[in-house]
Amino acid sequence: MELRTEWLGRIGYAEAWDRQHALVAARAAGEVPDTLLLLEHDPVLTLGRNADPAHVIAPEALLAARGIAVHRVERGGEVTYHGPGQLVAYPIVRLADHDLLLRPFVRALELAMADVAASYGIAAGRRDGYPGSWVDADGVLPRKLGALGLRVERGVSYHGIALNVTTDLDDFSLIDPCGMSGLVVTSIARELGWEGAAARPSTESVAEAGRRYAAALGPRMADAIAVSRAAVTPAAARAG
């Protein structure tokens, strides 16, 4: 499948949100191809459409002093943090064009995150019942490396994943990440023990992770499409 990639660099949340909405409308109308937006956000908190605002535990005055806005958005899931050093990827995909079911699509996004982690030498994967990417998912101390939350409108996906590369993990203390008190959040930098300049938030490190994610997602999407078509074919055959 064709998946055009756009690297937006470091960008405010509202601007990227508007870009997503414009692309969803254009994709639903068949005016643009499927598109993967890759970017890094300024510090911001977002809540899913049914998220509990009580999971934002930082006082409003502290958020205001730090210039951190809070947005309620259309995706599923609870509250999450976006900020410098974090790769955000928004796939704008018209699912029906590929007979692509939602669950295999989500799985492809998660596996692509795991592929990026593996390319750095980190073993990460799924954790049943907890969307995203996890280190030591089935161990004593599971650590969340990447978050996932999607929305599908007019058959087109948007929102997506957030993978911590060199993110300042102290910022996650502003919230109960994903609505889970005590959740341990990690990053590629933390897992690899990067120190000094290498460990600080960097748009360059995010851009490199973005290249790796784009390369990983294509094959994972092809697998997801094959799984989806295999799942619907028997039903279609029986109907005939």
CATH of the domain at 128: 3.30.930.10
In a domain, 104, yes or no: yes
Percent over 90 (pLDDT), the chain: 88
In a domain, 103, yes or no: yes
In a domain, 91, yes or no: yes
The pLDDT of residue 238: 45
- The backbone torsions φ and ψ at residue 115, rounded to the nearest 5 degrees and listed phi first, read -65, -40
Catalytic residues: 178
d(CA 74, CA 59): 24
Residue 240 pLDDT level (bands cut at 50, 70, 90): very low
Which amino acid type is present at position 61? Answer: A
Between 2-6, 216-220, 233-237, the lowest mean confidence (pLDDT) is in: 233-237
The pLDDT of residue 122: 98
Non-local (6+) Cβ contacts of 113 within 8 A are 124, 132, 133, 145, 146, 148, 161, 163, 213
Between 134-143, 170-179, 200-209, 221-230, the lowest mean confidence (pLDDT) is in: 170-179
Mean pLDDT over 167-193 rounds to 90
The sign one gets for the Cα dihedral 99, 3, 107, 115 is positive
In a domain, 74, yes or no: yes
Residue 63 has pLDDT above 80, yes or no: yes
The pTM for the full model equals 0.93
Residue 236 has pLDDT above 80, yes or no: no
State the chain's mean pLDDT as an integer: 93
Residue 130 has pLDDT above 60, yes or no: yes
Residue 211 has pLDDT above 90, yes or no: yes
The pLDDT of residue 234: 62
The pLDDT of residue 177: 82
Domain range for 45 = 4-235
In a domain, 240, yes or no: no
Mean pLDDT over 193-212 rounds to 97
Residue matched to tokens 């990026």: 116
Per residue in 146-158, pLDDT tens?
999 999 999 999 9
Exposed / middle / buried, residue 140 (Cβ in 10 Å: 0-12, 13-18, 19+) = exposed
Mean pLDDT over 55-61 rounds to 94
The pLDDT of residue 77: 87
Between 23-37, 65-79, 169-183, the lowest mean confidence (pLDDT) is in: 169-183
Q: How many domains does the chain have?
A: 1
